[in-house]
């Protein structure tokens, strides 16, 4: 008799799945590997050390909280050794896709004989953004659970390969990957394209995420920072970030605003958004990582969609 283990992308989905009464245990993957330094050996001591250092510095996550929230759940995953079917529940956005790659890389090493399947949202119409898992009704979750894809060994090797590239010190290697369509990861190509746009642009030194914050502020004229954050979350495209992540972005580009009540860009902010001046030297941080690469060692050329090394 086969036994199942479900790995989800967050606590909200875990609670939803519990209410659906699916067979098997459920583990929540509580990480945000789309931000900060990552190492290839998922779950190693050096991996968790690097993650804690980033989360502590960027988000003031305490060691106690990190152990309670993340490491305890990871240790629970390690102790689940008997299940021969592992079902992954990960969304289409960058946040979830990077976590998914890391989990598959870990499973490749530590659960090599288990059958791994992937439950993921798909677009109903070409070009449309799919519904996220947490937005789905119970019957929709059960429907896509029934349509889950069993990953082949080639799929697993490929996910591990993309994870290795994400953790490498040069994103140009990731940019040159062009065979996503040959594997069962419908949302990975778009997520990786969104990731590459997080390097600072040649045009004004801000990346796509930071430029989008300014764009939303200009186009929607929010009355408060709270309204601005709400609008950003609704208009963020494929990133899947939470409000704490955007709070951090706003802190970094705060000098580009003259007011947050109502939200108004400063003259400098307006000039930078229009590409008249460049903010690279002001925003540059020498120790900010995206995966294994230093964010400010590379520039994104939006006119060619190519990365350049500085």
Provide the token pair at 154.
């080639």
Mean pLDDT score, 264-274: 96
Share of the chain above pLDDT 70, in %: 98
Task: Provide the mean pLDDT of the chain.
Answer: 95
pLDDT value at position 300? 97
Provide the token pair at 106.
């870990």
**Contact 58/99 with Cβ under 8 angstroms?**
no
Name the one residue in this structure whose structure tokens are 């699916």: 22
pLDDT > 70? residue 124? no
pLDDT > 90? residue 29? yes
Name the one residue in this structure whose structure tokens are 């079902």: 87
pLDDT > 70? residue 176? yes
pLDDT value at position 188? 95
Task: Assign 77 a pLDDT band (cuts: 50, 70, 90).
Answer: very high
pLDDT value at position 169? 97
Task: Assign 295 a pLDDT band (cuts: 50, 70, 90).
Answer: very high
Cβ-Cβ contacts under 8 Å for 234 (sequence gap 6 or more): none
Instruction: Kindly report which listed range (20-24, 66-70, 225-229) carries the lowest average pLDDT score.
Output: 20-24
Mean pLDDT score, 255-263: 96
Q: Is 226 helix (H, G, I), strand (E, B) or coil?
A: helix
pLDDT value at position 125? 58
For the entire predicted model, the pTM comes to: 0.96
Q: How far apart are CA 25 and CA 5, in angstroms?
A: 5
pLDDT > 80? residue 127? no
pLDDT value at position 149? 96
Task: Assign 217 a pLDDT band (cuts: 50, 70, 90).
Answer: very high
Cβ-Cβ contacts under 8 Å for 74 (sequence gap 6 or more): 43, 48
**Contact 96/12 with Cβ under 8 angstroms?**
no
């Amino acid at each position: 008799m086969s036994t199942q283990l479900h790995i989800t992308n967050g606590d909200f989905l875990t609670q939803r799945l519990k209410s659906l009464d699916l067979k098997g245990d459920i583990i929540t993957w509580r990480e945000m590997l789309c931000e900060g330094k990552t190492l290839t050996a998922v779950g190693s001591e050096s991996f968790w050390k690097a993650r804690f250092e980033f989360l502590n510095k960027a988000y003031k996550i305490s060691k106690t909280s990190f152990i309670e929230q993340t490491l305890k759940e990871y240790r629970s995953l390690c102790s689940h050794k008997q299940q021969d079917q592992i079902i992954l529940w990960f969304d289409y956005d960058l946040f979830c896709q990077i976590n998914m790659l890391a989990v598959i890389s870990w499973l490749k090493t530590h659960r090599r004989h288990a059958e791994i399947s992937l439950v993921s949202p798909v677009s109903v119409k070409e070009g449309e953004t799919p519904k996220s898992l947490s937005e789905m009704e119970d019957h929709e979750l059960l429907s896509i659970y029934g349509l889950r894809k069993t990953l082949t060994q080639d799929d697993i090797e490929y996910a591990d390969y993309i994870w290795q590239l994400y953790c490498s010190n040069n994103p140009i290697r990731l940019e040159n990957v062009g065979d996503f369509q040959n594997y069962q990861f419908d949302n990975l190509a778009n997520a990786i394209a969104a990731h590459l746009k997080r390097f600072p642009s040649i045009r004004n030194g801000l990346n796509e995420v930071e430029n989008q914050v300014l764009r939303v502020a200009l186009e929607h004229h929010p009355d408060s920072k709270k309204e601005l954050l709400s609008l950003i979350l609704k208009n963020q495209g494929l990133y899947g970030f939470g409000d704490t992540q955007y709070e951090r972005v706003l802190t970094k580009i705060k000098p580009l605003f003259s007011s947050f009540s109502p939200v108004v860009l400063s003259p400098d902010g307006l000039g930078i958004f229009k590409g008249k001046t460049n903010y690279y030297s002001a925003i540059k941080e020498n120790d900010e990582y995206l995966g294994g690469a230093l964010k400010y060692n590379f520039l994104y050329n939006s006119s060619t969609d190519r990365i350049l090394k500085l």
